[in-house]
Amino acid sequence: MDVTAELVALVIAVGLVAGLCDRFGWPTPLVLVVVGAAASFLPHVPDVQLDPDLVLHAILPPLLYATAVRTSLFDFRHNKLSIVLMSVVLIFFSTLVVGWVTWLVLPGVAVAAALALGAVVAPPDAVAAAALGRRLGLPRRVATLLEQESLVNDAAALIALTVAVSALSSSPSAPEVVGDFLWAVVGAVLVGGVVAAVLAVLRARVKDPVLDTLISFVAPYLAFLPAEHVHASGVLATVVTGLTLAHLSPRVQTASARVTEQITWRTVAFVLENAVFLVIGLQLPGLLSDASDSGLGAGRIVAVCAAVLVATILARAVFVFGVAGVLRSGTPWMRRQAWSPGVAGLVSWAGMRGVVTLAAAQLLPQDLPDREVLLLAAFTVVVGSLLLQGSTLPWLVRRVGLPPPDPAEDALRAAELGDAANAAGLRRMRELVTGDEPAGVVERLKDRSVARSHAAWERLGRPLADQETPSNTYARLRMQMLAAEREVVVRARDDGTAPNEVLAAALAAIDVEESLLDRHEEIEGRERDGALVPRAGGTLCTHLVSAPLGEAEPASACEDCLREGTTWVHLRRCLTCGHVGCCDSSPRRHSRVHFGSAGHPVVVSAEPGEAWRWCWVDEELG
């Protein structure tokens, strides 16, 4: 009962702190560490010590899997050079630098023990990077680099730690070290790929969302444990499985299974991620007590911890800026991969450490001299990096001035993609229609597909203050209708006039539709600052290439709507003749009508702050 009560208290504390952080915009990981450290000194709060086997074999696999399934395999391949540099080369560089500094400031420490500490503190944490990246709105390239680096670097750090620990009792040769590292990588890729292939085949045959989610729960362990058993990297095997299954998900999973899995894993990842940071803070008293019994003076202990923290931060900064300089002065291919000074600054300063560092520190041999001081140094790096770098990162983001992900640009791409998907759906419908379908069915199918595409475009413009877009009007009215429908179902439940299975199915249908409308309102409520810009690079159709550049000046009205006495939603300007017409979400669709009569192919948005063009002929955005 005591363990159960402690777990419940932990989850409640995580929920309360995370809720307050979300309410006031505080960085959740940092606040949880501070709250945990403060709570650790309160009476009746139990001493917490992380079991390394529990962390590395039970908690780490699902955390890595939850991050991997949110990562794009395409981006992972595209950034392979950066991943190798940051996840392998930087890990070994940091191990050597921190190990050398530890050997200098801690008298009598073995070189292998100092290098073991360097390997312990070398890997930034995937959880910290993902959590702070989402909270701070880091530029997309920076956030992607941090998450992808943190998915792989744990494997390199644990391999380096294993070599350093084994060197305390023996002296492995260089060929043995290289061979172990290569097998750790190759074996992990093989195990992870095989597990992903088997689970993909199984998922394609499982239609029950609950069973499919159960498969996702065991997936990280099915990859991690066999890889560790054959002395490959379980961390890397888990990442390979997660990336592959996420990439194959649209083809092997049903829509309901994907929705169920996504919601479930969001909850699991939320609890695990935030609980980890709280537990980090709770460990402080035990580590201080053990270090005080080590025989070293307080001044020496403080000097060791501070030196290790500074060396860890500086090693990353020196490496990142050094690599950026080499890439910028290299071949044309290298220059295309280079990081700007702003990106390099954010990447170097965002290397927060986390639970893997603390768990790996517990793997140091129990009889190692000054082990308690080394553990406290590792804890100092974790807490110091979270507090020092995490608290100043928002200032650095503003100082560097790199733009965060632009919701307006994302909405523009979503609208373009929605149009392409809508066109494909309508083409398939025309292939399937035989003419024998019931009256109105084809029109209903067409209207439903077109309405979704129109809703994406409506989010881009800024309608008049007293005018709703059609999609907003639909969402507002439909929400009220669903509330009335739910009241009828609940009344039938309370009266006992319908079987429970019937009631559950009716409520589920209403809830699914309402959840879609909730998502629509969430997207509509996001702020969109800054102008949309045309796509950089890429191949445009001939009409967009040859069209006059024109000016994306706002227009005040649709001339045809004024003449006909109708209303409009958003406005488009013809780049050939300057005609201003209303968009397809408007009742009369005068921009499309003008194209049909005049044949002028390209229009530009006439909404404030927008600068995109559209080709009617090729249905392409530019």
**Residue 549 burial (CB < 10 Å; 0-12/13-18/19+)?**
exposed
Predicted local distance difference test score (pLDDT) of residue 127: 61
Tens-place pLDDT, residues 342-364: 888 888 888 888 777 877 887 88
**Residue 566 burial (CB < 10 Å; 0-12/13-18/19+)?**
middle
Estimate the share of the chain in helix, then strand, then coil, as percent rounded to the nearest 5: 70, 5, 25
Q: Is the pLDDT of residue 573 over 60?
A: yes
- What mean pLDDT, rounded, does the chain reach? 81
Tens-place pLDDT, residues 37-61: 888 888 877 777 767 778 778 888 8
With a CB cutoff of 8 Å and minimum separation 6, the contacts of 433 are 442
Predicted local distance difference test score (pLDDT) of residue 343: 85
Q: Is the pLDDT of residue 3 over 80?
A: no
Please report which confidence band the pLDDT of residue 277 belongs to, taking 50, 70 and 90 as the band edges. Answer: confident
The single residue listed with the structure tokens 């006059």 is: 548
Please report which confidence band the pLDDT of residue 524 belongs to, taking 50, 70 and 90 as the band edges. Answer: low
Local structure of 587: helix, strand or coil: coil
Predicted local distance difference test score (pLDDT) of residue 241: 95
Q: Is the pLDDT of residue 462 over 60?
A: no
Higher local confidence (pLDDT), 98 or 134: 98
Please report which confidence band the pLDDT of residue 535 belongs to, taking 50, 70 and 90 as the band edges. Answer: very low
Predicted local distance difference test score (pLDDT) of residue 216: 93
**266 and 275 Cβ atoms separated by less than 8 Å:** no
**207 and 254 Cβ atoms separated by less than 8 Å:** yes
Residue of 452, 433, 453 lying closest to 443 (CA atoms):
433
Tens-place pLDDT, residues 584-611: 878 788 998 999 899 998 888 887 767 6
What secondary structure, in 3-state letters, does 505-527 show? HHHHHHHHHHHHHHHHHHHHCCC
DSSP for residue 604: E
Alpha helices in 206-254 (DSSP H): 209-229, 234-252
Residue of 455, 473, 447 lying closest to 583 (CA atoms):
455
42 vs 289: CA distance, rounded Å = 15
What secondary structure, in 3-state letters, does 107-145 show? CCCCHHHHHHHHHHHCCCCHHHHHHHHHHHCCCHHHHHH
Q: Is the pLDDT of residue 268 over 50?
A: yes
254 vs 491: CA distance, rounded Å = 33
Tens-place pLDDT, residues 184-220: 889 999 999 999 999 999 999 998 888 999 999 999 9
